[in-house]
Copies of this chain bind each other. A is one copy, B any other.
Amino acid sequence: MDIKSGDTVLIYTPDKKTYLVTVSEGKRMSTHLGELSLGDAIGLEYGSAIYSSLKHSFLVLEPTLEDRMMKVKRFTQIIYPKDAAIIIMNTGIKSGMRIIECGAGSGSLTIALANAAAPGGKVYTYDRSERFLENAKRNVEAAGYGDTVEFKLREAGDGFDETGVDVVVLDLPSPWDGIPAAARALRGGGRIASLSPTYNQIEKAAGVLESHGFVFMETVEVLVRNIRVAYGKTRPEERMVSHTGFLTFGRKALAKARTVTEEPEVESEEPVGAAEEAGDKAEE
């Protein structure tokens, strides 16, 4: 894969720093180890070196998804790649799926969702702040996922335009505000994920999820511990990010799994054909 003008690359310095920059003919970049002519990278294979004015060598790497997520311009706390990874795994997002994200934030999670849904899929991203939404949009476009994402300025409580979506991801201070709309937008068996930093939020959200017909719920937190690997001196790193948020997952059911004896009496009067709807109603 050769580097072209206009490509965004990751410059890796001799002292192991990284910079995300766009390559073009004549563009220069100053570093403490001399000036780089970024045009030198054009036509090289990724992984090659370019040389600074002081003759030091710098590697030109392809940015990974993680690089893209961590380097967005931030107005808000970003979603960490570790959490995005578990959200994508546990909701099963893959190419072709349609996903609603409510709470665009700075767009770092949007980028990860779009990366997993492309090609053929779509991410509908809602935020109530015009400023955040504009910033998220710029970040998503800069990362190359503009075609996969639609941005919508709206409050979570005002509902979503889409129906039959595969996954809804909520990143809201009051996730319960988005749950009724999420339940309506999801297809049967569709998955929901909600991120919240506090115990209070997950406890309240869990109750609202249950009352809106979600089943198979679980809440986790993801801890990634870095290991300092050095010959004869290998050890865990001394400090770590120990909390970003809790992740709650559930699946949209159209009925209830229950034993006969659990069924409230009134339900037995429902006509057979309305069984699913009855199940739904009983939960509200």
Interface residues of A (CB under 8 A from B): 1, 12-14, 16, 18, 33, 45-49, 54-59, 61-62, 64-66, 81-82, 84-86, 88-92, 94-96, 112, 115-116, 118-120, 187-191, 197-200, 202-203, 206-207, 215-227, 229-244, 246, 248, 251-260, 262, 275-276, 279
Measured between beta carbons, the chain B residues less than 8 angstroms from A89 are 65-66, 81-82, 84-85, 88, 112
On whether the beta carbons of B224 and A220 are closer than 8 Å, the reply is: yes
Measured between beta carbons, the chain B residues less than 8 angstroms from A197 are 235
On whether the beta carbons of A1 and B229 are closer than 8 Å, the reply is: no
On whether the beta carbons of A198 and B234 are closer than 8 Å, the reply is: yes
Tallying the copies of this chain within the complex gives: 4
On whether the beta carbons of B95 and A118 are closer than 8 Å, the reply is: yes
Within the assembled complex, what's the spacing in Å between the Cα atoms of A91 and B112?
Answer: 13
On whether the beta carbons of B254 and A215 are closer than 8 Å, the reply is: no
Measured between beta carbons, the chain B residues less than 8 angstroms from A187 are 1, 45-47
Q: Given contacts A85-B89, A119-B119, A198-B235, could you give 16 more A-B pairs where the C-beta distance is less than 8 Å?
A: A12-B215, A14-B257, A47-B187, A48-B254, A48-B275, A54-B260, A56-B259, A58-B257, A59-B215, A95-B118, A198-B233, A199-B203, A202-B234, A223-B223, A238-B244, A239-B239
Which 8 pairs of residues, A with B, have the shortest CB-CB distance?
A47-B188, A46-B189, A49-B255, A85-B89, A64-B92, A240-B242, A236-B243, A45-B188
Residue of B nearest to A227 (CB): B219
Residue of B nearest to A69 (CB): B89
On whether the beta carbons of B236 and A242 are closer than 8 Å, the reply is: yes
User: Which of A54, A82, A227 has the largest count of B CB atoms less than 10 A from its CB?
Assistant: A227
- Please list 12 pairs of residues, one from A and one from B, whose beta carbons are closer than 8 Å in the complex, sorted by A's number: A16-B216, A45-B187, A49-B256, A59-B255, A82-B86, A82-B222, A198-B234, A199-B234, A200-B232, A202-B234, A220-B224, A223-B223
Measured between beta carbons, the chain B residues less than 8 angstroms from A188 are 1, 45-48
Measured between beta carbons, the chain B residues less than 8 angstroms from A96 are 119
On whether the beta carbons of B66 and A94 are closer than 8 Å, the reply is: no
On whether the beta carbons of A59 and B257 are closer than 8 Å, the reply is: yes
On whether the beta carbons of A226 and B237 are closer than 8 Å, the reply is: no
Residue of B nearest to A260 (CB): B55
Contacts A61-B216, A231-B207, A232-B200 given; does A47 touch B255 at CB 8 Å: yes
Measured between beta carbons, the chain B residues less than 8 angstroms from A217 are 229
